[in-house]
A = this chain, B = another copy of it.
Amino acid sequence: MLKNWIRPARPEKDEVKARLKAAQEKLAVQQMQLKDKKLPVLVLIEGWGAAGKGSAIGRIIRNIDPRFFKVFSMAAPTAEERRKPFLTRYFEKIPEEGKFTFLDSGWMDEITKETLSGVLDGGDYAQRVDSVKRFERQLTDNGYLVLKFFFHISKKEQAGRINALMDNKDTAWRVSRGDVWQNSHYDRCLDVFDKYLEDTNTPSAPWYIVDAKNKRFAELQVMEALCTGIDTALHNGSLAVPLLQNVFPLVKMPKLREVELKSKTITDEEYKTKLKELQGKLGMLHNRLYRKRVPVVIVYEGWDAAGKGGNIKRLTGAMDPRGFEVHPIASPEPHEKARHYLWRFWTRLPKDGHIAIFDRSWYGRVMVERLEGFCTENDWQRAFYEMNEFEQELSNWGAVVLKFWVQIDKDTQLLRFTDRQNTPAKQWKLTDEDWRNREKWDVYEAAIDEMLEKTSTTYAPWHILESVDKKYARIKALEIVVEALEKALK
């Protein structure tokens, strides 16, 4: 793209000024429209070192109320950040609805730098590009406007700017060693940038190459693209998004009502012996995965009162508390609801070598959110694919991903509800909502069957834990976790 790019004719100074003014006024109005329409806007500014990315952002945000934007200047990932999937720190920074995020360089910069330095080889590069395309598509599919700009300057122009900055001790810090290196390897960088732009130029999140030689004109190009982009997004706000075919390696799951429960029991004796043995093994495995830096993500879903909490306790009881975290997932808080529904899970991922256990999870999207109408049909239908993608991201990162459905029948639930009601120490666990959900057992069951069918992948399979006998379910969970970790650590 860069190589075929034709430099746009630069208008006269007066025209630039007039058009800038018009765009600024328009943006002031759009600011309120996107607040009303709850449109989140992510603006990614990439480009050559010293191309003026930062100062362009500085001028653009003057037109926006500080309540409505954030600016992040992304440096190379820290050691801590490298212990998470590489997209994590970008996903964390996506805007809330009705607001802007400006990124002063981002995932393109990271990927192209690592390509140039040889950290990423061909296969890794291809995987990164796939991840980026998924990431951007997930944002735009979920109502985000994603605008990507590349600030382009010539080798000569860049050299001149670097020298000018270096000459002043107050601005010399702005020139990184990377900028200098870039300039002396301009053609090689151009190749890599060009390829990346081609590879990630998608219809829903296309690239804009900005002629950045003149600052005012560069600002104008961004401002006009921004205004047009917002107009289009506001206009398309209510459109449904195409559903992608669910092409992931799926594992066949039984229907819930075919799951035999009554026979799945264990004696107290056997339970005690196996619990001790398995917890011992798990404790050792936990140590080893810490050493080998394998991340683990375990999801628990299940009927109310199915025994998720007690099951999780038997797992964590064996583990060093410095190495795991349990995330109980309730309904989202306002700042969570204002973002992509996976945001609150991206921001809770474990570091490598750690275990994150989710007591309820992103699957709420296709259960409670679907059935209570908290999202549109298009939203939850798309979610099967999106969650498969999310877990693929985790799996590619090297994580062991396990998902448990804790299964009981309706009669058992009633017994346990009644027991909770009659036991003072357990009453807090039972809410009116639990009773209401119980009334919808059948529609939930259908939704869960669909979820199990569509999201049990080879890399993140669902396991049904038959939990009428809670002890049986606990041992089964421990066995599955131990087996999966042993396999991963081999």
Contact = CB atoms under 8 A, between A and B. Distances in A.
Question: Which of A29, A102, A313 has the largest count of B CB atoms less than 10 A from its CB?
Answer: A313
Nearest to A171: B287
B320 A28 contact: no
B325 A71 contact: yes
A144 to B, nearest CB: 21
Contacts of A35: 428
B104 A312 contact: no
A389 to B, nearest CB: 28
Instruction: Name which of A66, A309, A335, A359 has the most chain B CB atoms within 10 A of its CB.
Output: A66
Contacts of A121: none
A294 to B, nearest CB: 14
A176 interface: no
B58 A319 contact: yes
A66 B102 contact: no
B428 A32 contact: yes
Contacts of A290: 173
A170 interface: yes
Interface in A353-396: 357, 359
Interface in A279-336: 284, 287-288, 290-291, 309, 312-313, 316-317, 319-322, 325-326, 328, 333-335
A32 B360 CA distance: 21
A282 B19 CA distance: 28
A54 B359 contact: no
Nearest to A65: B309
A359 B173 contact: no
B428 A170 contact: no
Contacts of A55: 320
Nearest to A287: B170
Contacts of A244: none
Interface stretch (A72-80, A106-114, A146-154): A72-80
A309 B170 CA distance: 29
Complex copy number for this chain = 2
A425 B24 CA distance: 14
A67 B359 contact: yes
Interface string A126-137: 000000000000
A104 B335 contact: no
A29 to B, nearest CB: 7
Contact of A170 (B32, B71, B73, B288): B288
B54 A321 contact: yes
Interface string A395-431: 0000000000000000000000000000001001000
B309 A71 contact: no
A57 interface: yes
B291 A66 contact: no
A7 interface: no
Contacts of A334: 333-334
A70 interface: yes
Contacts of A171: 287
B66 A425 contact: no
Contacts of A169: 291
Contacts of A287: 170-171, 173
Given A32-B425, A73-B321, 20 more contacts: A32-B428, A57-B321, A61-B316, A62-B313, A62-B316, A66-B313, A66-B328, A70-B325, A73-B322, A78-B79, A78-B80, A80-B80, A102-B321, A104-B321, A104-B322, A170-B287, A170-B288, A173-B287, A173-B290, A333-B333
30 contacts: A28-B425, A29-B425, A32-B428, A35-B428, A54-B321, A54-B322, A55-B320, A57-B321, A58-B320, A61-B316, A62-B317, A65-B309, A66-B309, A66-B312, A66-B316, A66-B326, A67-B328, A67-B359, A71-B321, A71-B322, A73-B322, A78-B79, A78-B80, A102-B321, A104-B321, A169-B291, A170-B288, A170-B291, A333-B333, A333-B335
